[in-house]
Chains A and B, each alone.
Chain A
Amino acid sequence: GAGVSQSPRYKVAKRGQDVALRCDPISGHVSLFWYQQALGQGPEFLTYFQNEAQLDKSGLPSDRFFAERPEGSVSTLKIQRTQQEDSAVYLCASRSPPGTGQETQYFGPGTRLLVL
């Protein structure tokens, strides 16, 4: 596709429910990032993949958060037993490959998660 796509765009979950957020990166982008953005804040890094390898998961706030990218393209961010503090916009970004001149990171439209 032309850009990074994410689904669903909006998700309302009851506290304690599990949710799964999907990201389709730009074709050919090996680097994929997940961010969490609370209202009025900048995006906070969650985790990073290079192809199927999760190279950095230092930003995941708890063990309820899990991300995977089994075939090196589509990625899923899963949040188990959601809490109200998980309410945020979850942004996925993919980055142009090294050696292409610029490390341009393209964001998807985000998934707005509301936990009631």
Chain B
Amino acid sequence: QKEVEQNSGPLSVPEGAIASLNCTYSDRGSQSFFWYRQYSGKSPELIMSIYSNGDKEDGRFTAQLNKASQYVSLLIRDSQPSDSATYLCAVNKGYSSASKIIFGSGTRLSIRP
């Protein structure tokens, strides 16, 4: 079992709709959770971080965390063509900022006009 699992996609969503991306992780001790966006040929950029159970909203993005189910999700409202990218879920395994971050293999999202 991989430590951070995501569906590879591609996930195709019509423009203006809600895109829902999911991620599960195996280490119950994980404390910090991140969503990165990566355009083709570019490096990952952080779009959301979440540390406690519940929802966290930032503009069109909402991250959801359920530690009991070891589940993290990202919702993108009013999807735009510019949202087409690979979305990487990442988990900080430890309790300090010195711990390494483990990435999933990413979900490819395509927003169709």
The answer to whether A and B belong to the same complex is: yes
- Residues 69 to 111 of chain A near chain B (Cβ within 8 Å): 91, 95, 97-98, 102-110
A42 to B102, CA, bound (A): 9
Contact call A107/B32, Cβ cutoff below 8 A: no
Contact call B100/A56, Cβ cutoff below 8 A: yes
Binds A, one of B14-22, B38-46, B62-70, B76-84: B38-46
Contact call A31/B97, Cβ cutoff below 8 A: yes
Contact residues in A for B72 (Cβ distance below 8 Å) = none
- Residues 13 to 43 of chain A near chain B (Cβ within 8 Å): 31, 33, 35, 40-43
Contact call B96/A98, Cβ cutoff below 8 A: yes
A45 within 8 A of B: yes
Determine which of A35, A55, A106, A108 lies in contact with B98 in the assembled complex, contact meaning CB atoms within 8 Å.
Answer: A55
B92 within 8 A of A: yes
A40 to B41, CA, bound (A): 11
Number of A-B contacts (CB under 8 A): 54
Contact call A42/B104, Cβ cutoff below 8 A: yes
- Residues 42 to 92 of chain B near chain A (Cβ within 8 Å): 42-46, 49, 88, 90, 92
Number of interface residues of B (CB under 8 A): 23
B103 within 8 A of A: yes
Contact call A43/B103, Cβ cutoff below 8 A: yes
B26 within 8 A of A: no
Given A50-B98, A55-B98, A103-B49, 17 other A-B residues pairs in contact with their CB atoms under 8 A: A31-B97, A33-B100, A41-B106, A42-B4, A42-B88, A42-B90, A42-B105, A43-B88, A45-B103, A91-B43, A95-B97, A103-B92, A104-B49, A106-B46, A107-B44, A107-B45, A108-B43
Report which A residues bind B (CB closer than 8 A).
31, 33, 35, 40-45, 48, 50, 55-56, 59, 91, 95, 97-98, 102-110
